[in-house]
Amino acid sequence: MSPFGIQPKTGYIRKKSVCTVPFALVPTGRNTYNNVKMPSKSSMKYWQVIPASMGFRYTKSQMKAMDRMMALPYPVLIPKHGGYDAAAFPKAVKRKGIVMTVPKKFSRGLSSGSAANSDTDYSDSASDISGGEFHHDLLRHFATADLPPKARKLSSKPPKTVGVQKPKKVMRVLTVEEKTARRFGVPLALPVKTEGKPSEEKVAEITPPIKESMETSAKDVVTATTTTTVTKNDTTLPCPGHLQFECTRCFILYSSFDQIEQHIGQFHIRQEDGCPVFQLSEDNFDSLVSIKWDATAVSNGSNVTAISNAANALAQQLMPPPPVWYRPSVTFTASATLSTSEVSCYRHVTTVRCPSAEPLSDDSFVSTSDWSLDAEIAMALDQSINHKVFQLPAEVKPKKVYKKKVLLKMKEKRPVVVKKPKVKSIKKRDREMEGMEVNGEWYSASTIRKVRLGLQERNGEKLRGGKNMRKCRSVYGIQSQDQWCNMCKWKKRCSRFGTPKPPKDEE
DNA sequence: GCTGCCGGGGT
DNA sequence: ACCCCGGCAGC
Ligand SMILES: [Zn+2]
């Protein structure tokens, strides 16, 4: 039984599936509510499962990763995503359910309420999961009952039912607020079951202290350490965690929306007139940002769910978290200060070819003149350095520069001395403090040199494309499989590191 | 034990 | 095209 009294339709749908967890199933595609795209064939390929205590959607792989980490939060339905008009888009309703499995042991203690309605595959029979109506109901419920006034405006817009011509689709620029609200949902005042004692106070206690940087309420959803409270057996439990934003190109993690937005705007997209983009479009956000839920970031506290505890413990035990490259947020002025000589030398860098460098030809990456060069530089550097760092034996892995995400706060006006990851395995005679600041990030002279030289053969194949190069599995670690390349996920030949391919020729 | 990945299977 | 996984070589 969900805290809301809504019996969630569950979508657990696989033979193997052992338990049913009241997730909200939401189509991948965006919906007409937000006047964005209507669900298309491709976008509706998957449903997404939202264990809604977090107000945003997950990709499948993210869900999978969480699943593996036992980081599944206590499920609460927060269908922040709105519904779509089932009548208008009948096809959208027909898609299959996503396949998610949760080992039985993890589900222990989860509100079970809804029994699995079937363990058939892809139950179309379970029309409930594919129903726009189901979604509709939920939406309505939340729109009327639980959403704060601001959000209500956004999502309670009643869906136009067929008949009338569609209003012209106007792509207006979204405010950050809307954007975040759309994406992550709005802060919900979760209805707390008041049985005997009103537990509102409890909730208030647990709610995280508001960070100093609060602009809009929507922003808070993203920025603040999110702690959603849910009720279970008249006990209030938090689902601790932390939002992270990862650039899908650079695999750089940011801890705030602003930062990722800035990063994307600077490095990966440009307007047609060449101006930098300060506000991410929905599409760009989709393609360039992946959201992560760092459930392990929060620890301690007695008021942590057993699940989270388990997750923490396991995560701790399994492996230290893979080094994450927190790059201080960059400023446009910084990039402008590149001297031409520097540029040229980095220009060279970009030809060096990092094995994992993504093709720069993607449409979201508008390559124009020096800007693209800039971006290329940044990417090449990021990639190569990441490669270097990750490919080194563990002992010489650089200390984590960031230590805590708090450190990110200091990014702003860092004068000079940013700790650099030292790649000292190669040679220590690079003792020079000489370095170079590129786009707000400082790189040591040795690093620069090496990169410039094309990741020279030192360490042989280890750093290049060789056979003994570490692959995704060892680089990113098993707990972040969502960062692996697909091939590695499938236990096929890694497509990111190492030798590219068998040449696929026939004679 | 772990890592990488082939071959073979599934949808 | 995507996805899953048994099993094995090689460390
Ligand atoms: Zn890989």
For the residues of A218-287, what is the DSSP string, one character each?
Answer: HHHHHHSPPEEEEEETTEEEEEE--EEEEETTT--EESSHHHHHHHHHHHT-B-TTSPBP-S--HHHHHH
**Residue A500: predicted pLDDT:** 72
CA angle A115, A119, A124 (to 5 degrees): 105
Q: Which residue is nearest to nucleotide B7 (CA to C1')?
A: A492
CA closest to C1' of B2 belongs to A474
- Rounded (5°) CA angle A111-A296-A29: 65
Summarised one tens digit per residue, pLDDT across range A151-189 is 222 233 333 333 333 333 333 444 443 443 333 332 222
Q: How confident is the model at residue A244 (pLDDT cuts 50, 70, 90)?
A: low
- Determine the nucleotide nearest to A96 by Cα–C1' distance: B11
pLDDT band at A459 (very low <50, low <70, confident <90, very high): very low
Mean pLDDT of chain A: 39
pLDDT value of position A466:
67
User: With 80 as the cut, is the pLDDT of residue A283 above it?
Assistant: no
Give residue A94's pLDDT.
26
Where do the domains of chain A lie?
242-266
Cβ A352 vs Cβ A384: under 8 Å = yes
Least Cα distance to A465 among A360, A322, A352 occurs for A352
- Contact indicator for A411, A417 with CB cutoff of 8 Å: no
Phi-psi region of A58 (alpha: psi -120 to 50; beta: other; left: phi over 0): beta
Query: Is the confidence at residue A140, as pLDDT, over 50?
Result: no
Question: A97: pLDDT confidence band, cut at 50, 70 and 90?
Answer: very low
- As a whole number of angstroms, the distance between CA A407 and CA A461 comes to 35
Whole-number Å distance, alpha carbon A31 to ligand 1 midpoint, is 33
Q: What is the pLDDT of residue A473?
A: 87
Question: In what side-by-side order are the strands of the sheet with A289-293?
Answer: A253-254, A243-247, A289-293
Q: Is the distance from CB of A81 to CB of A26 less than 8 angstroms?
A: yes
How many Å apart are CA A430 and CA A485, to the nearest integer?
A: 33
> Pick from A230, A199, A200: which is nearest to A74 by CA?
A230
Do A438 and A338 contact (CB within 8 A), yes or no? Answer: yes
* pLDDT recorded at residue A503: 60
Q: Residue count of chain A, please give it.
A: 507
What's residue A485's pLDDT? Answer: 87
Q: How confident is the model at residue A221 (pLDDT cuts 50, 70, 90)?
A: very low
Residue A428 Cβ < 7 Å to strand C = no
Q: Ligand 1 centroid to A234 CA: how many Å? A: 45
Question: Residue A242 C-alpha to ligand 1 middle, in angstroms?
Answer: 26
Positive/negative CA dihedral, A424, A426, A432, A434: negative
Of residues 93 to 122 in chain A, which lie within 7 A of strand C by their beta carbon? Answer: 99
Closest among A427, A289, A419, A436 to A349, alpha carbons compared: A436
**Helix, strand, coil percent values for chain A (each to nearest 5):** 35, 10, 55
Beta-bridge partner residues of A228: A239
List, in order, residues 6 or more apart from A408 with CB less than 8 Å away.
Answer: A254, A255, A256, A259, A326, A328, A329, A402
The maximal CA–CA distance of chain A, rounded, in angstroms, is 79
Which positions on chain C have an atom < 7 Å from some protein CB? 2-7
Q: Is the CB of A64 less than 7 A from some atom of nucleic acid strand C? A: yes
Distance A184 CA to B9 C1' (A): 38
Listed ranges A136-150, A305-319, A339-353, A463-477; the one with the highest mean pLDDT: A463-477
Rounded CA Rg of chain A: 24
A390 neighbors A238 (Cβ within 8 angstroms): no
> Pick from A490, A483, A475: which is nearest to A290 by CA?
A483
Please check whether strand B approaches the CB of A474 to within 7 Å: yes
CA of A146: how far to CAs of A81, A133, A181, A225, A425, in Å?
14, 19, 14, 21, 56
Q: How far apart are the first and last CA of chain A?
A: 63
Average pLDDT for residues A46-75, to the nearest whole number?
36
Rounded to 5 degrees, φ, ψ at A304 are -120, 140
Cα–Cα distance for residue pair A101/A107, rounded to 1 Å: 10
Q: Is the pLDDT of residue A389 over 70?
A: no
How far, in Å, from the CA of A184 to the mean position of ligand 1?
29
| Closest listed residue to residue A239, CA positions, set A167, A175, A147, A301 | A301
Neighbours of A160 (CB within 10 A): 15
Please report, as a single letter, which amino acid is at residue A220.
D
The span from the CA of A16 to the CA of A100, in Å, is 9
- Report DSSP letters for A467-503, one per residue: TTS--HHHHH-GGGGGGS-HHHHTTS--SSSS-----
CA–C1' gap, A201 and C11, in angstroms: 57
| Positions in chain B where some atom is under 7 Å from a protein CB | 2-8, 11
What distance in Å separates the CA atoms of residue A111 and residue A87, rounded to the nearest whole number? 32
In 3D space, the residue among A39, A37, A7, A38 whose CA is nearest the CA of residue A22 turns out to be A7
Structure tokens at A507: 């004679």
Which token pair is A297? Answer: 């970031």
Nucleotide with C1' nearest the A101 CA: C4
pLDDT for the residue numbered A465: 61
C-alpha distance from residue A466 to each of A397, A425, A461 (Å):
20, 18, 4
Most confident residue range from A91-105, A122-136, A379-393: A379-393
Report if CB A490 to strand C is under 7 Å.
yes
Residue A472 has pLDDT above 70, yes or no: yes
- pLDDT (0 to 100) of residue A497: 83
pLDDT at A478: 78
Name the residue closest to C6, CA to C1'. Answer: A491
Position with higher pLDDT, A147 vs A451: A451
Q: Taking the alpha carbons of A283, A289, A290, A293 in that order, is the dihedral positive or negative?
A: negative
